[in-house]
Amino acid sequence: MAAELTVLNGARERDLTKLDEYRTIGGYGQLERARGMAPEAVIETITNAKLRGRGGAGFAMGRKMSLVPPPDKRRSPAYVVANADESEPGAFKDREIMRTAPHRFVEGCLIAAHGIQSRNVFIYIRGEYLTEYEVLSRAVEEARAAGIFDDCDVVVHRGAGAYICGEESALLDSLEGKRGQPRPRPPFPPVTGLYGGPTLVNNVQTIASVPAIFELGVEEYTRIGPESAPGTVVYSLSGNVNKPGNYELPLGTTLRELIFEHGHGVAEGRALKAIIPGGSSVPVFTPNQLDVPLDFDSVQAAGSFLGSAAIIVVDDRACMVQLGLRAEKFYMHESCGKCTPCREGTRWLVQLLERIETGDGSQRDLDLLRDVCDRILGKSLCALGDFAVYCVASYVDKFYDEFKRHVEEGGCPYGGESSLDGVVAPSDQHTHSPVASPVPA
């Protein structure tokens, strides 16, 4: 096994959607090995491998597993829930993992289930991923038919289009058949989760990383990437770059290496203007930050988040006000409507950004924009409210002159030449159930 590939290993050479093929490269062998171990030892192995969550928050998976009370202290059954709702703008890694290496993901689920002594795995896959749902369902059927599940069962559950359902507690409500809205926490899912039972929620990639830990052994696995968070990550590279795509690399790869070596540089030889390092919800980087290693701690030290390791490259044709407006329309559209600051604040931000973008804004509006960001930050029920301001606030802070020129010049300095000019968003189209216009003109 090439040390660099643990999650997508073999997936580009072989048809790993087939059980036989997966078995020829040792598939489900790690499950067997893990099942030969005591559950506590499984958790210990994952803990020692220092596997951190790839879904956004970077929480240690082993620690999360150990928060699940042991069977004799449970009042209801425990569950494993795989978060396959991947909807963060810029991210498309879980999709490739599920489409090309579904069995590895399923194997990871079963190892996790053994670790926390659960007999029920639910995979919540976003509704748009129909092909992936079919591939995954077939893999699940195949594994079930082959008797691999033993006394455990795996259910693939299709979402129906709601970004918020990627947030773990909203996902649980959605899985329970309700509107997918976040729950107040604590209690956290490992203690009180699905149907009130202890629940381990992990991202697809986190779970798909588990078999390699058992295959390579903790020692070898922790040699990949930085000490604080070893292993590989699938970087989703997109935007104005010559070779976009998924790149599985050791954590800690620098932005420069990713964009210029693997991604072959900025498209059409344009100048780099900005880099979004972790999906649209994180603060933006500027070209002088190209040498930041892309691992959890380094990115955070540099003022942003690795998030879902989705890197969006923005070249010099993009107007940052338009970028902010487009991003904010997404958050307004996806705000679940449960808590006040996020529901009302995102809408207000869109109104302010629209006014500034069209050139009707004043300095007062610009100041208010920044202030409304602060008023939302840290006050919402889940992190979506924060996401909705990390991006825009950082665009204002780092490209303040550009925002100011919109106000002072009464319009976009790009004069219609921005790559984002006139971009419309789903929230601009007729909604499927019109009761009020989201933002009246």
Ligand X SMILES: Cc1cc2nc3c(=O)[nH]c(=O)nc-3n(C[C@H](O)[C@H](O)[C@H](O)COP(=O)(O)O)c2cc1C
**Residues binding ligand X (CB under 6 A):** 53-57, 59, 83, 85-88, 164, 166-168, 201-203, 206, 382-384, 387
Closest approach of Cβ 281 to ligand X, in Å?
Answer: 7
Does the footprint of another protein cover residue 64 (CB under 8 A)? no
CB of 163 to ligand X, least distance (A): 6
> What is the Cα–Cα distance from 392 to 281, expressed in whole angstroms?
9
Q: Segment contacting another protein (CB under 8 A): 39-47, 50-58, 284-292, 324-332?
A: 324-332
163 binds another protein (CB under 8 A): yes
Contact between 426 and another protein (CB under 8 A)?
A: yes
For the CB of residue 421, give the shortest distance to ligand X in the complex, in Å. Answer: 28
Tokens 């899912």, residue located: 189
Site for another protein contains 91 (CB under 8 A): yes
Q: Give the integer Cα–Cα distance in Å for 182 and 390.
A: 19
Binding partner of residue 337 among ligand X, another protein, none, CB cut-off 5 to 8 Å per kind: another protein
Shortest Cβ 409–another protein spacing (Å)? 21
Residues 218-277 that bind another protein (CB under 8 A): 236-240, 244-246, 267, 276
CB within 8 Å of 238: residues ≥ 6 apart: 90, 92, 244, 310, 311, 312, 313
- Nearest CB to another protein, comparing residues 44 and 257: 257
393 binds, among another protein, ligand X, none (CB under 5 to 8 A by kind): none
Which of 47/402 has CB closer to another protein?
402
70 is a contact residue toward another protein (CB under 8 A): no
Q: Are 96 and 234 in contact (CB under 8 A)?
A: yes
Which two structure tokens, joined as six digits, stand for 95?
A: 């999709």
What the block records as the tokens of 143 is 């594994």
Only one of the segments 248-256, 392-400, 404-412, 432-440 lies at the binding site for another protein (rule: CB under 8 A); that segment is 432-440
Q: Judged by CB under 8 A, which of 148, 162, 224, 275 binds another protein? A: 162
Whole-angstrom Cα distance, residue 86 to residue 95? Answer: 8
Q: Least CB distance from residue 417 to ligand X, whole Å?
A: 33
Q: Which is nearer to another protein, 26 or 426 (CB)?
A: 426
Min dist. Cβ of residue 407 to another protein (A): 15
Residue 206's binding partner out of another protein, ligand X, none, with CB under 5 to 8 Å set by partner kind: ligand X
